[in-house]
Amino acid sequence: MQSEVMFAGFGGQGILLSAKILAHAAMEEGREVAWVPSYGPEMRGGTAYCTVVVSDRLIGSPIIRNPMHLVAMNRPSLEKFAPMVKANGVILVNSSLITIPAGRDDVDELRVPVNEIAVALGNVRSANIVAIGAFVARSNLVTLETLQECVRNEFSKKEKLIPLNMAALEKGYEAGLPN
């Protein structure tokens, strides 16, 4: 089975890093993975998005028009990409910055105040890790244990950031669990 995830937001929100961590986790679980980043000329503040394709067989093309899932970190990203998401997918909405609904009744819309959770933990820059935790809790694309390993690995050269990001991952995961 193949799943595609679009991560989208402003440059500087950790969009590419979130996608990279998910791709790494899927590879660790033995799946085929494609990671395709895209961002505007402005690294910080411009639009950034990234597609991760995860499959149990060879991936025919990493270019996806209609992803199964969307992690939208800002309103322009939600407005642009939500209509493209396949029915029955998950749309994670960063409700800290997005006050409107996705406008879809055929998807699982997960609204999580990722910025507020990150600020409460001590650093808004961990919002992307909160988001990936919530998304994985809802989508079950990879296990929490594998995701935790990959977050630890990603921040291994900046060990002082590991406790914050592990807490962000856990809080996000809790926020994404079905009620």
Query: Identity (one letter) of the amino acid at 172?
Result: G
Burial of 28 (0-12, 13-18, 19+ CB in 10 A): middle
Specify the pLDDT at position 40. 62
Specify the pLDDT at position 38. 83
Please tell me which residue, 45 or 147, carries the higher pLDDT value: 147
**Domains of the chain by residue range:** 2-176
- Average pLDDT (53-64) is 93
The DSSP bridge partners found for residue 112 are 94
Task: Please check the confidence at residue 42 and state whether its pLDDT lies above 90.
Answer: no
pLDDT band at 78; cut points 50, 70, 90: very high
SS3 58: coil
Task: Please check the confidence at residue 128 and state whether its pLDDT lies above 80.
Answer: yes
Specify the pLDDT at position 46. 67
Specify the pLDDT at position 107. 98
- Residue for token digits 């085929």? 32
- Average pLDDT (53-58) is 96
Which fold, 2-176?
A: Pyruvate-ferredoxin Oxidoreductase; domain 3 (3.40.920)
Sequence-ordered alpha helix ranges (H) in 29-157? 75-81, 114-121, 127-139, 144-154
- Alpha carbon distance 11, 149 (integer Å): 25
pLDDT band at 179; cut points 50, 70, 90: confident
| Cα–Cα–Cα angle for 74, 154, 16, rounded to 5 degrees | 30
**CB atoms inside a 10 Å sphere around CB 34:** 19
Backbone angles phi, psi at 49, to 5 degrees: -150, 160
pLDDT, one tens digit per residue, over 10-25 is 988 999 999 999 999 9
pLDDT mean across residues, the chain:
94
- Average pLDDT (1-5) is 95
Specify the pLDDT at position 12. 85
Task: Please check the confidence at residue 36 and state whether its pLDDT lies above 90.
Answer: yes
- Alpha carbon distance 172, 124 (integer Å): 13
